[in-house]
Amino acid sequence: MSGSGYLDATLKPEGWNRPPVIEPDGEGELLEVAMGPHHPSTHGVFRMDVALDGERVIRLKPVFGYLHRNHEKLAEGMSYLASMPFTDRLDYICPMTNNWAYALAVEKLTGQEVPERAEYLRVICGELTRVVNHASAVGFLIQEMGASGTPLMYAFKEREKVLDLFESLTGARMMVNYMRFGGCRVDATPAWLDGVRKVVAGLPKFVGEFESLLTGNEILMARTQGVGILKPDLAVNAGITGPMLRASGVNYDIRKVDGYGIYNRFKFRVPLGDHGDVFDRFMIRLLELRESLQILEQALKDIPGGPVMDPKAKLRGFRPKPGEAYGRIEAPKGELGFYLISDGSPNPYRYRVRPPSLINLTVLEDMCLGQNVADVVLIFGSVDIVLGEVDR
């Protein structure tokens, strides 16, 4: 295949895409490979058009949109309540945090208060979601390295316990549809809270096992250290958030910066990496898992009684005053924000999701240039995306 295939044609308009940083060495021709859309490592339907010089990546173009479901426009045509279950389906590994971000945006728009107990329940559900997401993200990353199955299944074993908790609280394992504007849909029973305490008490053992399984492993270190480096200045300029930004050494956690909800009441640390490579991204997730357990323990100790819904909150048929609101939270994958404009009608005039997965993907080419093609899969896995959120 020559270097002037369709890939070049799509990249042609100069200025639209950056010129490639890596120049081919002049021997032989470039090989163009379309990785995806059905590639086992892509976590869904996603394509990477890669130009290779031998095994080195010269260019990489991410192509997405295969899973587009018109989420934003659909939400503009229905009431505020009716788009809540659709937010579950954005990042389907972490439905609780999606609910939370959307509820936060609508609460800002309408000026609703959230009762104390509901705030605690939100923190508990949000942090359990983070545990699930980080454990499975690490499991998927190891799977992409070739350890098919075992580490991922260990992560999923733990995930199943959390999903059982979600099911007994909300009625569904994944599509929870739990949070409402001004609180949470149902109250947690004491038995449920005891169940959470039991799961949280068992998690440090799991994290320890997981770490001894992986972190000292020479193959893992050789494959991940110094691979896919993301420089902090590029990360900041590209708007990267979440564990990826912190792995590059930038101290930015919206739980600390905004203190949304009641996060300023909890004591927890923000782990930071200093190389910004795949190994750092992997370790940051394991360390954040431990910090989430700290938050969970504090929240479970302090949770007060009382209602879980603001008695003044309306379920349906409310009309927010004309205006705009942006609610953002630290979702497990980064900054998840919902931007709403109200024109005084029961539907939002404009509804926009700021998905961390999509924006974290924009630096994929920068991380992959000059790397081996086998590492592209690994670097892509370390971004930790869910295609439901990228394409919406």
Among 216, 267, 301, 304, binds another protein (CB under 8 A): 216
C-alpha to C-alpha distance for 289 and 134, rounded to whole angstroms = 7
C-alpha to C-alpha distance for 368 and 135, rounded to whole angstroms = 24
Among 4, 215, 225, 362, binds another protein (CB under 8 A): 215
C-alpha to C-alpha distance for 152 and 205, rounded to whole angstroms = 16
One-letter amino acid for residue 74 of the chain: L
C-alpha to C-alpha distance for 118 and 99, rounded to whole angstroms = 13
CB of 67 to another protein, least distance (A): 16
CB of 13 to another protein, least distance (A): 39
Among 117, 130, 185, 290, binds another protein (CB under 8 A): 185
CB of 316 to another protein, least distance (A): 6
67 lines the binding site for another protein (CB under 8 A): no
- Is residue 93 within 8 A of residue 133, CB to CB? The reply is yes
Whose Cβ is closer to another protein: residue 301's or residue 316's?
316
Q: Which of residues 68-97 bind another protein (CB under 8 A)?
A: 78-79, 81-86, 88
251 lines the binding site for another protein (CB under 8 A): no
Among 157, 198, 269, 321, binds another protein (CB under 8 A): 157
DSSP 46: -
Crossing angle between the packed helical segments 190-214 and 150-170, to the nearest 10 degrees: 170
C-alpha to C-alpha distance for 63 and 34, rounded to whole angstroms = 10
- Is residue 279 within 8 A of residue 223, CB to CB? The reply is no
Among 175, 193, 272, 341, binds another protein (CB under 8 A): 175
Crossing angle between the packed helical segments 278-302 and 373-383, to the nearest 10 degrees: 20
Whose Cβ is closer to another protein: residue 93's or residue 142's?
142
Cβ-proximal residues to 318 (8 Å cutoff; 6+ apart), any chain: 80, 110, 346
Whose Cβ is closer to another protein: residue 67's or residue 172's?
172
Among 16, 28, 267, 316, binds another protein (CB under 8 A): 316
Kindly list the residues in this chain that would bind another protein in the complex (CB under 8 A): 78-79, 81-86, 88, 150, 154, 157, 160, 164, 167-172, 175, 177, 185-186, 209, 212-221, 311, 313-317
